[in-house]
Amino acid sequence: MPGMKLARRVAIVTGGGRGLGRVIALGLAAEGAAVAVSGTQRPPLEATAADIVARGGRALALVADVADEVAVARMVTSTVAHFERLDILVNNAGITGPTAAVIDTPAAEWERTLAVNLTGAFLCAKHAIPHLVASEHGRIINITSIAGQIGYALRSPYAASKWGMIGLTRSLALEVGPRGVTVNAIAPGSTRGERLANVVRDRAAVLGKTAEEVEREFFVSASALGRLVEPEEIAAAAVFLASDEARNITGETLTVSAGFRL
């Protein structure tokens, strides 16, 4: 609708069926964007799409594994065929990977974590860029993590993938900037939700502590503000980076972490 920050624009949000991806998709739609949500399980994708439509928006649910290039190409083609354009790509799809010391981490788990979190973002960008260049408002927003800016014992595959996303962000910004596309990353800190709860549970099991102790000691007390980040705060950052207000911001990583480990 006219007056909204993202009116008449089209976005893809990978991992958009649940958690942070769902909240980002709803946030973009609330500002007028038509949103294609992708993921590997259809029911949560259809639920997110239905919620967007129920609120007066336009949405499309697409099943795709971002680590599969054929599936990624099909996802982008289907989005453009349905909405006739593509302006915004949010690379949010990701997995937590194993919680274990490197010496105890199977190579297959390392490879799968990087395949989804990092190669997936590369493949989505690769196939979206021609359409984003054709838009006057081309945006790529990579959801990395505070884990991509610090050392993270027991989570090396995840941290490596998120460090890699920041390098990908900066490199892509240089490549597509001359063609009018901005590329930025958002690095959430400890964000409330099911994924963090699972990470806390697994870390507690490895360390022999309670989940409450791990959340307090490692995730809350380590932040300057002494609190978790809310998913809606990450979504607000994504809306900003997708909007015209951020048209001269590129190659940057916006950290939204409540001051984690300052």
Of 76-90, 108-122, 153-167, 205-219, the range with the lowest mean pLDDT is 205-219
pLDDT at residue 33 tops 60: yes
User: What is the pLDDT confidence band of residue 194, given thresholds at 50, 70 and 90?
Assistant: confident
Secondary structure (DSSP) of 12-46: EEETTTSHHHHHHHHHHHHTT-EEEEEES-HHHHH
In whole angstroms, what is the distance from residue 82 CA to residue 130 CA?
A: 17
Residues 6+ apart with CB under 8 A from 129: 138, 140, 176, 181
- Taking each helix axis from N to C end, the angle separating 156-176 and 120-134, rounded to the nearest 10 degrees, works out to 20
What is the reported pLDDT for 262?
67
Question: Model confidence over 236-256: pLDDT tens digits?
Answer: 999 999 999 999 999 999 999
User: What is the pLDDT confidence band of residue 219, given thresholds at 50, 70 and 90?
Assistant: confident
Strand order in the sheet with 88-91: 59-63, 34-39, 10-14, 88-91, 139-143, 182-188, 253-256
DSSP-based three-state secondary structure for 131: helix
- DSSP designation for 149: S
Cβ neighbours, 10 Å, residue 220: 16
Under 8 Å between Cβ of 93 and 66: yes
pLDDT at residue 192 tops 90: no
Residue 86, token pair as written in the block: 């593509």
In whole angstroms, what is the distance from residue 260 CA to residue 262 CA?
A: 6
Catalytic status, residue 152:
no
pLDDT at residue 1 tops 60: no
What is the reported pLDDT for 34?
98
In whole angstroms, what is the distance from residue 189 CA to residue 192 CA?
A: 9
In this prediction, what percent of the chain has a pLDDT beyond 70?
A: 98
In whole angstroms, what is the distance from residue 234 CA to residue 164 CA?
A: 20
Q: State the average pLDDT over residues 213-218.
A: 88
Of 83, 158, 219, 260, which one is the catalytic site residue? 158
Average pLDDT of the chain? 95
In whole angstroms, what is the distance from residue 76 CA to residue 60 CA?
A: 12
User: What is the pLDDT confidence band of residue 206, given thresholds at 50, 70 and 90?
Assistant: confident
User: What pTM does this model have?
Assistant: 0.93
User: What is the pLDDT confidence band of residue 3, given thresholds at 50, 70 and 90?
Assistant: low
* Domains delineated in the chain: 10-189+230-251 (3.40.50.720), 192-228 (no CATH)
DSSP-based three-state secondary structure for 77: helix
